[in-house]
Amino acid sequence: MAVVAPTSIILGVGSAIYLEEYAKKNRMTSFIRTNISNLAGVPSVVFGLLGLTIFVRALSLGNSVLAAGFTMSLLILPVIIVAAQEAIRAVPNELRDASLGMGATKWQTIVRIILPAAIPGILTGSILALSRAIGETAPLIVIGVPVIIQFLPAGVMDTFTALPMQIYDWSSRPQQEFQAVAAAGIIVLMAVLLTMNSIAALIRNKFQKRY
């Protein structure tokens, strides 16, 4: 999470700003736009393979927290870009006009007017995307993350595992104790997901259209 959230949000919002505010509207950019939406629908295993090739092998990060974090970021990046694009597009043009009309530069307008107005939408989309990342396992299996670990990872280069995989492994063991641990794991996972989704809903309600 500590890797996934900053990487994907920074890259995602940056790309959305570029696509919405700077890129010229031509064939090339509309092709890119369409394909970002398509990417959001690509099965996660495929992203796992991509992560395996790029991060684990080419950049030799191994099956570490960092490699998995980057892979997960790739997976949710399209979702965040699309959400951020929509949030930016929803900011009325009148506000851009008002700001530019006072001699503000494009960048000042983006930083002071457009982003603040779009942030609720961006955050909501990002949190929902992140909660998808928590539940995902397929890409991690592909990049070779061990199914279970017995010790906490100490740093970003350590091996680690994901909660859903731990749960799967625990619950398939015969001993009684593991059933209880699995149940606890499920509750933790559920609680985290519910919390994130409620935060998203709260943000959305709090900042509901003011213009």
Partner 1 sequence: MTTISPIKIKKEIQPKEQHDIKKSVYLTKQLNLWYGDKHALKNIDLDIKEHEVTAIIGPSGCGKSTYIKTLNRMVELVPTVKTSGEILYRERNIFDSNYAVEELRTKVGMVFQKPNPFPKSIYDNVAYGPRIHGIKNKKILDEIVEKSLRGAAIWDEVKDRLNENAYSISGGQQQRICIARALAIEPDVILMDEPTSALDPISTLKIEELVQELKKDYSIIIVTHNMQQAARISDKTAFFLNGEVIEYDDTDVIFSNPSDKRTEDYISGRFG
Return residues touching partner 1 (CB under 8 A).
24-25, 92, 94-95, 97-105, 108, 112-113, 116-117, 210-211
Nearer of residues 108 and 198 to partner 1, judged by Cβ: 108
Nearer of residues 114 and 182 to partner 1, judged by Cβ: 114
∠ at Cα 44 (119, 9), nearest 5°?
20
- Tell me the C-alpha distance between 58 and 66, whole Å: 14
Distances (CA, A) of 56 to 45, 157, 176: 15, 11, 36
Helix axes 115-135, 65-89, angle to 10 degrees: 140
Least gap, CB of 97 to partner 1 (angstroms)? 6
Nearer of residues 25 and 27 to partner 1, judged by Cβ: 25
Least gap, CB of 89 to partner 1 (angstroms)? 15
- Tell me the C-alpha distance between 14 and 108, whole Å: 15
Least gap, CB of 103 to partner 1 (angstroms)? 4
- Tell me the C-alpha distance between 6 and 12, whole Å: 10
Nearer of residues 24 and 27 to partner 1, judged by Cβ: 24
Least gap, CB of 10 to partner 1 (angstroms)? 24
The DSSP result for 49-75, as a single string, is HHHIIIIIIIT---SSHHHHHHHHHHH
Nearer of residues 14 and 92 to partner 1, judged by Cβ: 92
Least gap, CB of 31 to partner 1 (angstroms)? 18
Tokens standing for residue 138:
């397929």
